[in-house]
Structure 1
């Protein structure tokens, strides 16, 4: 059974991989809310579903704008599907959970990554209407992960010590 519920419209775009400068550049705020923004969001959903991801940030498809989409479950098994334009991570608190995390831009690798058990993101939808998204468990992890992308980060940036060294070795091994 496919996860796809959001749209049949849109076109899958290539995922940018670690090393592409767009992933390491802070994204610009969305200022124009029009049909091209709606197309971008539709394309991001199609890309996320085709790549079997839980979320995709705009810069992962080569667009340096502050936007992401998501489709994942929280710690109670409730499914959350949506998008956020111009998101701000306003709360990241609760227990620090260290669990395996991966990223479509760093394919095939998963590392134990510390994330807060609770997160709140505020932003707007494609029409500019304010929204607030609150998540726990895996969904909180997803919200923190996608907001990190929009600031020019990738999940390996939050690793430290042995976990970071292991991740960097694995990434270098992929480049050979």
Structure 2
């Protein structure tokens, strides 16, 4: 099932999401639906608040970012990087902060350079209920940090410098008012 993406301006995107009681919902089905929704929108990550669910869950699949790249440009961290994170907690963010232009399915048409640490250590459960603690680096770490922000009520635009924030203010207002054109399913208010 493909869910509509919740746009910038919806209060669910600013809430700290609630922990999931394991066994209370079908995490396998929900994560499959979230992957389907993410792929339909050509995304590499999707958090539950972006489909209107106030729960601590996100899915990632960074493999498409390596498609079409020359061998020397392939990001090793994205090889086989398709995962579900249930009730995640970031334990550590380490390494040098580096900039990369990010975007968001809930904020279409806007991109901006965000600086994040190179490594992330994260504790989480899989959709099958397996408890894990893993360390990710490079683009995989960045995707996780971006999606983790979503379940904390933080958007990538919050990380932008003040000048860039002023430049995108009107575009964000347009999205809030439903003045946006996307080629994927989005819950727009007009």
Deviation at 1:169, TM superposition (A): 4.2
Which of 47, 52, 64 in structure 2 is aligned with 1:57?
47
- Contact kept, 8 Å, 2:47 with 2:57, in 1: the verdict is yes
User: Which structure has the higher relative contact order (CA within 8 Å, separation 6+)?
Assistant: 2
Q: CA 1:79 to 1:168, structure 2 compared with 1: closer, same or farther past 3 Å?
A: farther
Give the Cα–Cα distance (whole angstroms) in 2 for the partners of residues 140 and 117 of structure 1.
7
- Contact kept, 8 Å, 1:58 with 1:66, in 2: the verdict is yes
Q: Which position in structure 2 is the counterpart of 1:165?
A: 166
Q: Which position in structure 2 is the counterpart of 1:24?
A: 14
- Contact kept, 8 Å, 2:16 with 2:151, in 1: the verdict is yes
Give the Cα–Cα distance (whole angstroms) in 1 for the partners of residues 150 and 130 of structure 2.
22
Deviation at 1:168, TM superposition (A): 2.7
> Which is worse superposed, 69-78 or 15-24?
69-78
- Contact kept, 8 Å, 2:102 with 2:112, in 1: the verdict is yes
Q: CA 1:118 to 1:166, structure 2 compared with 1: closer, same or farther past 3 Å?
A: farther
Give the Cα–Cα distance (whole angstroms) in 2 for the partners of residues 79 and 110 of structure 1.
26
Give the Cα–Cα distance (whole angstroms) in 2 for the partners of residues 104 and 167 of structure 1.
16
Name the SS for the 1:106 alignment partner.
Answer: coil
Correspondence 1:110 to 2:148: no
Residues 10-62 of structure 1: CA deviation (Å, up to 9, x unaligned) = x1100001111111111110003256222211111101111110100011111
- Contact kept, 8 Å, 2:59 with 2:83, in 1: the verdict is yes
* Runs of 4+, deviation exceeding 6 Å: none
Give the TM-score, by structure 2 length.
0.80
Q: Which position in structure 2 is the counterpart of 1:75?
A: 75
Gaps of 5+ in 2: 64-73, 180-190
Name the SS for the 2:20 alignment partner.
Answer: coil
Aligned length: 166
Give the TM-score, by structure 1 length.
0.86
- Contact kept, 8 Å, 2:22 with 2:129, in 1: the verdict is no
More strand by percentage: 1
> Which is worse superposed, 40-49 or 122-131?
122-131
Name the SS for the 1:166 alignment partner.
Answer: helix
Q: Which position in structure 1 is the counterpart of 2:143?
A: 142
Give the Cα–Cα distance (whole angstroms) in 1 for the partners of residues 97 and 19 of structure 2.
29
